[in-house]
Each structure stands twice: as C-alpha cells, then as structure tokens.
Amino acid sequence: MQKILKAKIMEVCNKKIADKGQDVGVSFYAFFKNKNDTPELLMEAATWWIKTHKLDHFEKAVKIKYLVENL
C-alpha cells in the first residue's frame, strides 16, 4: 500500500473515531473526495478492501485502522 494512501486511511479513521466513537463505520469511499482526482489510489483502496480482505461495504473504523497499522 502506498504511504499516501496509508496516511489518508489513518487520518480519516482517527478523525471519525474521535468524532463519533469506537463503533463508527467507514467504507473505502470515505478516504476520497466526491470528485475522484486520484483514480489509481481509489482502485488500490478498492482492491485492498474488496479483493485482499473481502470486507463488507461498511466496516468499523477501528478494524480498518488495525489492518492498516499491521501491514
């Protein structure tokens, strides 16, 4: 996983957890703007989320954070 993507995932998960608590869910779309200006990163995130880990559309932010921390 590219460092920029890893950093963005951690930033978003940390913010969502801080704002809404340990039970907040995220999807991989949460790491990108509505206007997709980084399609390569979006595809990398989608592949990691869907193909590599076979995650549901929404997962707990704490789970995603743990997975990314342990890459």
Does 8 have pLDDT greater than 90? yes
Backbone phi, psi, residue 60, to 5°: -65, 135
In this predicted structure, what is the pLDDT of residue 37? 86
How many helices and strands in the chain, by DSSP H and E? 3, 2
In this predicted structure, what is the pLDDT of residue 35? 78
Does 33 have pLDDT greater than 90? no
In this predicted structure, what is the pLDDT of residue 4? 95
Q: What is the pTM of this model?
A: 0.90
- Cβ atoms of 4 and 41 within 8 Å: the answer is yes
CA distance linking residue 68 with residue 71, whole number of Å: 5
